[in-house]
Structure formats: structure tokens, C-alpha cells
Amino acid sequence: MKKKIQSVTITILLIIPMMSTAQLNESILYTPFKNIVNEDFRKTVEGDLDNWDIEYESDFYYKPNTIEPYNFLGFPINSASFYVSKNDTITKFGLTLTVMDGNLFYKQMYDEYGNSSVCNPNSYFFEKQGITLPKEESEEALELLSKIPMPTLEDYKDTNSITWFKVKHNSSSSEIDIKIYNSPLNGSTFKDPERILRIIFEKRYDD
């Protein structure tokens, strides 16, 4: 009987790390980089400076190939780049996702992080609102811009970028900024629901 209990305990200890490292989110900024590395990670090289899939001058690149991919909010990650300090701490990282339903993704973002802080609407958003942006600055143009409605949750996917400032993590008093860049799939437009997302997580160092 005693041996069976020991066996169950060992099994649980083996499963827990696998579950905890399945997702890449702001929590990895508070853990050693070595905790997430697997054989699909590599150091970046000078030739990567011309690779738009890799964050500029990042230290490590991840592209799932041999092992089940990490995910963010349940969405499989296409690739990720990491900035790592000398003490093996991740200071910033970026990842890319392909989602088939932008509204579903942003609903999950809202459930996890609340309302966004800043939105940068794109031309499709203004088109939906029936707004033609003025080409020159004037009092009339400024008045028009002041009356533009704020993007709602359903509009989040129709922004060039959207940012969550000062996100707090449970294990630390530090704050994080999360910025998402939206792009349609190749051959698609913003009228379609699918999106390619580039998401940047970065520690804040200001007050």
C-alpha cells in the first residue's frame, strides 16, 4: 500500500511542470529563461536581423517543430523571440499567433486582462463608422476626430495596434505592458475574421 502511494505522488510531480510550462504569458518574465527552453529554441544570429518573424536584436528564437507548441490563451504559438538578461531573466518577449476568429481571441483577452488602455484604429474601423478622415489638419478636422467613438471589444481586431498598460502579475508587484499588432491573413482583408497577431510583453521600469 505504501509503495502505491509513493508511485502516485511521483506521477503528480511529473505532470505539474508539464502543465505549468504549456503557456507563454507574462508569468515567464518572473522565471528563469532555462525553465521554458526546449529543443525548438535557438540563439539568434546576425542573419536574423533581416527576418521579420524575429524581434529585432532579440537573443533567442522559438519555432515549434519537434515538440507540441506552447500556447497563449489556448491558441498555438507560431513563433516567439526573447530578450534575455545576463542573469537568465526574460526582460521582454514577442510571439505570433494565427487566429481564425479575432473576436473570440479578444473576448479571451478581455476576460483575462480587462479593457485595453490604448487603441490605434485602422482605416477599416473608420470605414465601418462611416467616417472619412480629413487629409489636412484644421479646426473642423480636429472636431471630427474628437467625436470618433472609442473602439469596443468587437472592434479590437480592427485596430492597427492595441495596448494593455500596467498589467499586474500575481507573483510580483512589477507591472507589464502588452501590445498587440493586428494583420489580416495573406490574401485576406480586415473585413475577414482571421488575424495574424504579433504580441509583445515587456516589463515596465518607469514609475
Domains of the chain, residue spans: 22-203
Whether 118 and 166 have beta carbons less than 8 Å apart is answered as: no
Quick check: 21 pLDDT over 70? no
38-95 confidence digits (pLDDT tens): 999 999 988 887 777 788 889 999 999 988 899 999 999 999 999 999 999 999 999 9
Angle (CA) 125 159 30, round 5°: 160
Residue range 11-26: average pLDDT? 51
Residue range 2-13: average pLDDT? 36
Please give the pLDDT value at position 172: 61
125-152 confidence digits (pLDDT tens): 888 878 776 677 777 767 777 777 788 8
95-105 confidence digits (pLDDT tens): 999 999 999 99
79-132 confidence digits (pLDDT tens): 999 999 999 999 999 999 999 999 999 999 999 999 888 888 888 888 887 877
